[in-house]
Amino acid sequence: MICRKMFFRRGVRTIITTLSIVLLVRGAVLLGQKSQVQPVKVDGRYESESGNITMALSGDTLVDRPFAQFREERFLKLRDLFLNADVGFTNGETLFHNYENTPTSLTGVWERASPGVIKDLQWMGINLLSSANNHAYDFGEDGILTNIRYLDAAGMAHAGTGSDYADAVAPAYLETAKGRVALVAATTSGSVGSRAGEQNRYMKGRPGVNFIRWLNEWTVDQEAFDAMKRIAQQYKWEQGDDPVRAYAIDKSKAAITINFSDRNLGMPPTDKAKQFLDDPPARFVLGSTPEQHTYLHLADLQRNVKSVSDAHRMGDWVIYSVHNHEFDRTNDEPSDHVVALAHAVIDAGADVFVGHGPNITRGIEIYKGRPIFYSLGNLFREETVSLAPEEAMPFYGLGFENSVGDYSDAREATDDPAARRRGMLAVVAVTKFEDKKLRRIELYPVDMGFGLPRSQYGRPVLALGAVAREILERIQRLSAPFHTDVQIKGDVGVIELQQ
């Protein structure tokens, strides 16, 4: 009996000793790991007081598959741009889920990737993501919430969608050694029905997107104006200020307002069909010169400006992101309402404005010492989605017996090859601040493999030579109207700000 007790005690001591050694060794390893962090000498108490930060900014990420397995030098050097920055930003135009939710009505393509691909983005150096875009609602309200759950589980900071409007318009925060970075994200493109709903004391809010509404105004001659007015009178369409009172427009002009979309011209939202009150009307103004102008919905603008103002006071840096397909006279030019939005949020405290959505690059403006990237194009443009709903097939002349491969072929066949190529040429903008002042922007051209098979194209590598110069010369040309000087130095574009 005594021997058994002795052996038991010795066994307990051995276990305790072993555990102690394991804990000591683990502690030593952790201590060693901590000691590997190189101390930074700072002038003040904190590194974040310096006002220095580097942001690697990209446009749309339409990614379908994992990519951390790839090892091309030009791909890994692109990755280094994000890893070496304090902030790596992209717009997640892909939803991350496992098809838990049902698709919504026709959107053109139902972007989706496995939730595990979020880790690949983090491997790439992406640590801040916008989820506000026209594909955010591809799987409805439940799809919005599922995507958010997976982003949260992966620890990805994100903004632009939420369980209600307050959540969707709220800033997200990324904690970095260089300071607290806020992101406010919105879209001006997509279905107005995807807009998140506000909660009140009676009801829950509605999951959705931080959608900023806007209004089209067209200037037409006397003949066209009289014809529209006559039609409105014949059908007893009520005219007046009601449909446009929420938009920032000049209401002193002679005008007629008609509910208008890309596909039809219908009754204005002031008639009995009040369920269409959210559909932005079109305003036709009497004038001598054909013009188009767009105007922001004032309440939407004010709410976004307030969110930026809050973020400016609660953080050290503010990035504002907007997804927009709209354009001015040509697709290369930003629309009036996006220019107005960019200036308004910078006035409210945003340090950077990042645009994306048209699948092409646009010009760069420096406004009050802050950069406005009207569109950086795409970072990824993969198109190997696993599934598509049945209602997608008739849109391309297909039927029940057709497959996703048939759908993808038909959809690609409708694209203009030149436009598709432009959509696979983009830039990553490495933006550097020193002492809270914008000092330098480096534009790294990106090539996504136009002309390769569908299984290969869509993943970015750094562009070189003639392709790089083509991308940079385009941005140089489109930035000139904003008085922004883009210098081309080899395969990199550079914007230098005076000290």
List pLDDT tens digits, range 374-416.
999 999 999 998 898 888 888 889 999 999 999 999 988 888 9
Q: What's the confidence (pLDDT) of residue 240? A: 53
Boundaries of every domain in the chain? 54-199+318-496, 214-296
pLDDT band at 13 (very low <50, low <70, confident <90, very high): low
Q: Is the pTM of this model over 0.95?
A: no
- State the average pLDDT over residues 96-107: 87
User: Of the given ranges (73-82, 187-196, 226-235), which has the lowest mean pLDDT?
Assistant: 226-235
186-190 mean pLDDT: 94
Give the model's pLDDT for residue 237: 63
Q: Which two tokens stand for residue 371?
A: 């950069």
Stretch 452-479: mean pLDDT: 97
Q: 70-83 burial by CB neighbour count: b if 16+ within 10 A, else e? A: eeeeebeebbebbe
What percent of the chain is modeled with pLDDT above 70? 85
Q: Give the model's pLDDT for residue 287.
A: 87
pLDDT of residue 265: 39
Residue type, 351: D
Question: E strands along 179-336, which residues?
Answer: 179-187, 208-209, 214-220, 255-260, 265-266, 281-286, 291-296, 317-323
Q: Crossing angle of helices 117-124/73-83, nearest 10°? A: 80
Backbone Cα Rg of the chain: 26
**Residue 375 has what DSSP assignment?**
-
SS3 212: coil
| Residue 260 pLDDT | 43
- What CATH architecture is 54-199+318-496? 4-Layer Sandwich (3.60)
How confident is the model at residue 286, as a pLDDT? 87
Range scoring the smallest mean pLDDT among 35-49, 170-184, 186-200, 408-422:
35-49
Start-end of H helices in 391-484? 404-413, 417-422, 465-479
Q: What pLDDT is stored for residue 177 in this prediction?
A: 96
Q: What are the tens digits of pLDDT across the range 404-457?
A: 999 999 988 888 999 999 999 999 999 999 999 999 999 999 999 999 999 999
The DSSP bridge pattern shows strands 352-356 and 425-434 to be unpaired
DSSP structural state of residue 247: B
pLDDT band at 243 (very low <50, low <70, confident <90, very high): low
pLDDT confidence bin for 26, thresholds 50/70/90: low
Q: What is the pLDDT of residue 249?
A: 77
Instruction: Render the burial of 111-136: b for 16+ CB within 10 Å, e for the rest.
Output: bbbbbebbebbbebbbbbbbbbbbbb
Element (H, E) at 87: strand 87-92
Indicate the average pLDDT of the chain. Answer: 87
Phi-psi region of 394 (alpha: psi -120 to 50; beta: other; left: phi over 0): alpha
Average pLDDT of the segment spanning 456-465: 97
Q: Is the pLDDT of residue 465 over 50?
A: yes
What is the band of 191 on the pLDDT scale with cuts at 50, 70, 90?
Answer: confident
- Whole-number pLDDT of residue 284: 83
410: left (phi over 0), alpha (psi -120 to 50) or beta: alpha
For residues 80-92, average pLDDT: 98
